[in-house]
Structure 1
Amino acid sequence: MNAKEPSGTGRASLKTRVKTARKRSLASTLWLERQLNDPYVARAKAEGYRSRAAFKLVEIDSRYHILKRGQKVVDLGAAPGGWSQVAAAKVGATDGAGKVFGIDLLPVETIPGVDFRQLDFLIPEAPQILTDWLGGPADVVLSDMAGNTTGHRKTDHLRIVGLVELAADFAAEILAPGGAFLAKVLQGGTETSLLATLKRQFTEVRHVKPKASRADSSELYVLATGFRGRAD
């Protein structure tokens, strides 16, 4: 798959409007309307990606080159599999050069080059299980996870920061020296304590806002590269 950003046509396009059905809430109607008018959703379908989120990883990797042929990659909260698809293509997992393990609490349909397992990464034995599966430490840990939102900005921010902290702690258990960690956060960035920890563990830490993120979305990504080792 060769993903590129959708380009403009040079003229205004007609926007699809969705009428509010009797059993559909206004929020559901607005979400459906947004999906129907999203060029990345259309591109994901056309190019065979499981989700529009694939283009976010494509864009981030094109800028920072975190995925390389032969690497071992772990995708946390992998469902529906868009990021795993991109990782598999980048590391050569389909021809056996690299490995991609996608883990989730939910089952995920098979993708060539990706080994999906139902697993809770929070259980104590999860790091050892992943290391055994990979046959050694991981080169990259990815996390596009986001907890269920409440609509309350502060609460949602605390929830996702807590999830990122857990993902970062897990990454520190299984990453090889020089490895990378990429995870979703929310606007406002990473909490001070987590940011300080990442800066001790990695040589470089930055926040990234890919163009594929919706303009009205508060999502942001933290990218940490050059893993030094766990900072306890």
Structure 2
Amino acid sequence: MVTGNPLLMQTSKLCSCRSPRPLAIIALRTSCSPRWSSSNSRWKQRQGRDMFAREAKVQGLKSRAAFKLLEMDSKFKIFRSGQTVVDLGYAPGSWSQVAQERTRPHGRVIGIDLIPAQPPRGVATFQGDFLSPMVQKLVRDFIARTASQKASLKNKGVGVEAGSEEPVLDQPSYIDRERHASEEVEVNDAGESAASSVDVVLSDMSAPWDQTSGFMSNTLTNPYHRLMNTSGVAFRDHAGSMDLCTAALQFASDTLKPGGHFVCKFYQGAEDKIFEGKLKRMFGKVSREKPESSRRESKEAYFIALRRKQGVLLEPEDTR
């Protein structure tokens, strides 16, 4: 266990069984070995010297990025039990790990990413391009459907087993599904209100590099599929991150309930002040944060927007 760093020491203290609510980084275990590898020797050397990368491996986290979200949650109190969280650009899954643990019990975490990755246990995921309207519609429909089912089960008094986060139900028969077909129509009619049931939208997305070769079956080592890369050109990285932040904010405008929170990564540059203004129109409190676990040489930072205002939507001109 790494000592001397306040953030890591804070998380280590919560490993005690006397703690009423252990952190995600203590309680969770992953079912697969980490996939973070590189042929670049300098990258490997940096990872070996990075105390957050070492600690993430020791504690079973999918990446060091978990410490960034843990630090922001510790400061801004983003999560609470029972929330519905959407994690945009979830791969490899460390933010979803944190969200899943912090929203126990009865929380729901939904991840979306272009990268094929093993999701943390209990996290529902979609593999696809978030910028695709079809993918966003699938996610919104899933949120609306599960929210309606959750409300229906609550009204019917369906119980939950001890230690389980899912209601106890038998699988419906074909006749049952036909019988409730009309109810599903009503759910679709109320889709707009049901979809506005998300408590937190997280975005750790980064723009992929252009794919110039290798248009066959590729692995996570292909930069086109790895959204965690930057080009090294500051202006290009900044412009791409602002586009992704705007797309994430539009999704939050469509799905986030009043009082909900929004967290997004961006690369600092000329346009981030404009985006900050959009956030301030929609949320009660907006902060910039560069977590301690974010590398000093990186231009990345995070907007934390808290308490969405009632009835305030992202205007069409704000998406340009």
TM class by shorter chain equals: 0.7 to 0.9
Q: Which of these residues, 241, 248, 255, is aligned with residue 160 of structure 1?
A: 241
Q: Which runs of 5+ in 1 are unaligned?
A: 8-23
Q: Which of these residues, 46, 52, 57, is aligned with residue 58 of structure 2?
A: 46
Q: Which runs of 5+ in 2 are unaligned?
A: 1-5, 10-38, 148-193, 209-229, 316-320
* Whole-Å separation in 1 of the counterparts to 2:94 and 2:305: 21
Task: Give the TM-score normalised by structure 1.
Answer: 0.83
The letter of the residue matching 1:177 is: P
1:207 matched residue in structure 2: 288
Q: Which of these residues, 78, 102, 108, is aligned with residue 90 of structure 1?
A: 102
Q: Which of these residues, 105, 108, 111, is aligned with residue 114 of structure 2?
A: 105
Task: Give the TM-score normalised by structure 2.
Answer: 0.61
* Whole-Å separation in 2 of the counterparts to 1:154 and 1:110: 32
1:230 matched residue in structure 2: 313
What does residue range 1-232 of structure 1 map to in structure 2 within 5 Å?
Answer: 5-6=7-8, 28-92=40-104, 95=105, 97-134=106-143, 135=147, 136=194, 137-148=197-208, 149-188=230-269, 191-228=272-309, 229-232=312-315
Provide Cα deviations, 1:9-29, integer angstroms capped at 9, x if missing partner.
xxxxxxxxxxxxxxx6xxx22
* Whole-Å separation in 1 of the counterparts to 2:313 and 2:286: 15
* Whole-Å separation in 2 of the counterparts to 1:105 and 1:38: 27
* Whole-Å separation in 1 of the counterparts to 2:295 and 2:119: 28
Over aligned residue pairs, what C-alpha RMSD do you find? 1.8
* Whole-Å separation in 2 of the counterparts to 1:189 and 1:39: 32
SS class of match (1:182): strand
The letter of the residue matching 1:152 is: V
Structure having the higher strand fraction is 1
Deviates more, 1:186-195 or 1:212-221: 186-195
Alpha-carbon distance, 1:203 to partner: 1.0
Q: Percent identity?
A: 41
> Conserved in 2, the CA contact under 8 Å of 1:78 and 1:102?
yes
> Conserved in 1, the CA contact under 8 Å of 2:261 and 2:304?
yes
* Distance change in 2, residues 1:160/1:124 (3 Å): same
Alpha-carbon distance, 1:39 to partner: 0.6
